[in-house]
Chain A
Amino acid sequence: MKLADRGSHDVRAALAATGLVLRIPPVRVRVRSPIAGFAARLADLYGEYELHDTRDYADIDIRMLPGARLRRWVRPTVQFVVDGVTPFEPFRLDHAMPMFEWGLNWVFAHRMHQFLLLHSAVVERDGRALLLPAWPGSGKSTLAASLACAGWRYLSDEFGVVAASGMVHPFARPAALKNESIAVIERMRPGGVGPVYPATRKGAVAHFRVPPASLARAADPAPIAAVVFPDFIAGAPLTVQPMTPAVAFLKLAHNAFNYEVVGERGFRAVAGIVRSAPCRIVRYGDLAAAHGAIADIVAGAA
């Protein structure tokens, strides 16, 4: 059963009581919250996700709770509670959804050391996965969302979840689009972007809804065929530069979430990727041009 198959009243009541468990492979996430506004936003962004039996094991247990009582009257806030701990300062109440998204990323990055977690967006086409590793602001989320709009399977905008087998696993969550990107993706896929949260710590943020076709395959890993470091510069002409395996290795490893934690396994995984997959820097000012270059790189990697 999908979250959207439960009525909105039912979802709100369930979240306020025993909670719901979302299947977001590779994890099951238990969510509880008495906040009606959060329930509505969750149902909107995660409507197409499968629900899991609440009596079964869940990997992550999150509660979104109203902040301290006094504050509720002045400037209401929301707390992110995981395992009975609040790792973050409260957010304003109407930013509960972005807080849930950031918080879930944070939890995932801290406790999934059975995988190497690269900091990378991931898309796939014809059984060939493409890593888009990058620093915040380089446009990887926008590029991944735009590729998803153009028919690629969307695996993640944040995590390259690499198993010991070398395959990359999806962690298909809404992509966090910022500022100008929001309108760009909304134009490519009308209705594909959720509500805009103005003035978060990262500027305006809105979430790209994962396309249903990608969600239908949300548990399927794929082999890594190519690595493209995106470098968006407004107005820049398209350039494609090769990157040596050694440089690509350092860039992938140093920007990963848990490279040092996983140790030798991480070294072998990154070495395997840069040995077998071509690595390129694609500088672009125009998404369509970048799509063309990327299609060529992945086709050439066959």
Chain B
Amino acid sequence: MSAANGPSRLLATLHDVAGVQRLDAAGWESLVTCARRNAVLAYLAHRLEASGLLDNVPERPRAALVSARIAARRLAQLARWEVHQIARVLVPLGMPLLVLKGAAYVLRGMPHADTRLISDVDVMVPRSALEDAERTLVAAGWKGTVLHPYDQRYYREWSHELPPLHYPGRIIGVDVHHTICPPVSRLRPDPAAFWSHAVRVGDEGVSVLAPGDALLHAAVHLFFDSDFDGRFRDLVDLHEMALAWGGDAAFWPALIARAQALGLGRPLHYTMVLLTRLLRTPIPAAVLHDSRRFAAPRGVDGAMTHALTTVLRPIDPAVWPRRHRTLLWLLYARSHWLRMPAHLLLPHLLRKSLRRVEPGVDPQPAAR
């Protein structure tokens, strides 16, 4: 049993799925375990299926792949249904409604949409409609999450979304946003620019971001978020978007111009570098060259791309406790630096670290 090289095996398989034909039993176990740990087991099943290789997978790993695929399909179905429920109450008010991220991949019918472990539906409404949206959803039965009063205030004053909403008895939550970045962060793309390019999907009055904007949005969320732990699957999303839309020669120059206009060049640059390095996504050389203009000064860029390559590689399930915890903490601190001014950030981090020693509720999930 050599599970130690799970991450390399997973990456090699995603580069070229035909390689699985050479795997022995131990190789399959490390591949399946690593894919599951990184939330891409259903995605791996989809890739094998698309290449006509799934039926030839040995029985036990095939059962694991098929099981993961069934669970992910169900989540995609629930996400689609949750969007329907939200649209039913918000659209009749004449409220513009944008569906973001995972649920948007489902509505667009992207090939990997039903391989993702969706836990929330993210929607965006105009800032002016935010309170109305929350009130309407709560009146229709969704419940706000009970949060620590400090967290409530953090969400409402400094964040770009409402505290998550949940309809009792449903496993998919709802996050209502009014912009795509926190309002106090240093990235401040104008939400109106996203609204004006949005495209309608289906006949329920719901829109999704234009393809390039969707990619930029996913890039901001991956590279300017606080948590880089277990985010390999988000890189896979970016890879799938690049594959789905990058075949159109006009896509890339338009994307770079759009990133420039919205001030989102830096996350696009990291996307290009990380996709090429880790997933070998086919991005035209000229585009790679072009996006380098968004890089930070050389020393910073070198350190950041090295750090990102380290933490965004698939996590190795064989190693416990997991590696790179200090690096993850540094990136966490960096993201807060980027999203909050120092006079807000320092008290915030202090509150958060003090909270860790407060007695809390037992978060143990129900084991039977």
Which A residues are closer than 8 A to B by beta carbons?
Answer: 18-19, 28, 30, 54-59, 61, 63, 65, 81, 83-85, 87-89, 102-103, 105-106, 109-114, 136, 158, 260-263
Contact = CB atoms under 8 A, between A and B. Distances in A.
B364 A88 contact: yes
A105 B367 contact: yes
A61 B33 contact: yes
A87 B365 contact: yes
**Chain A CB within 10 A, most for which of B63, B67, B362, B367:** B367
Contacts of A263: 70, 74
Contacts of B364: 88-89
Nearest 8 pairs of A and B residues by beta carbon? A84-B317, A102-B367, A57-B25, A113-B70, A113-B67, A89-B364, A83-B317, A83-B37
Interface of B: 1, 3, 25-26, 28-29, 33, 36-37, 58, 60-61, 63-64, 66-68, 70-71, 74, 315-320, 322, 362-365, 367-368
Contacts of B365: 87-88, 106
Contacts, number: 85
A89 B67 contact: no
A88 B364 CA distance: 6
Contacts of A87: 365
A54 B68 CA distance: 24
A261 B320 contact: no
Given A88-B365, A106-B368, A112 B317 contact: no
Given A111-B67, A112-B67, A158 B368 contact: yes
A83 B36 contact: yes
A53 B70 CA distance: 29
A88 B28 CA distance: 26
A94 B332 CA distance: 36
A56 B25 contact: yes
Given A54-B1, A89-B362, A89-B363, A84 B368 contact: no
B320 A58 contact: no
Contacts of B37: 83-85
**Chain B CB within 10 A, most for which of A56, A106, A136:** A56
A81 B33 CA distance: 12
Contacts of B36: 83, 111
Given A57-B29, A58-B29, A61-B33, A88 B367 contact: yes
Contacts of A113: 66-68, 70-71
18 contacts: A55-B25, A57-B25, A57-B29, A57-B60, A58-B1, A65-B320, A83-B317, A84-B33, A84-B37, A84-B318, A84-B320, A88-B365, A89-B362, A106-B368, A111-B67, A113-B66, A113-B67, A262-B70
B61 to A, nearest CB: 7
B70 A106 contact: no
B368 A261 contact: no
Contacts of A261: 70-71, 74
Contacts of A84: 33, 37, 315-320, 322
Nearest to A87: B365
Contacts of B58: 57
A231 to B, nearest CB: 19
Contacts of A55: 1, 25-26
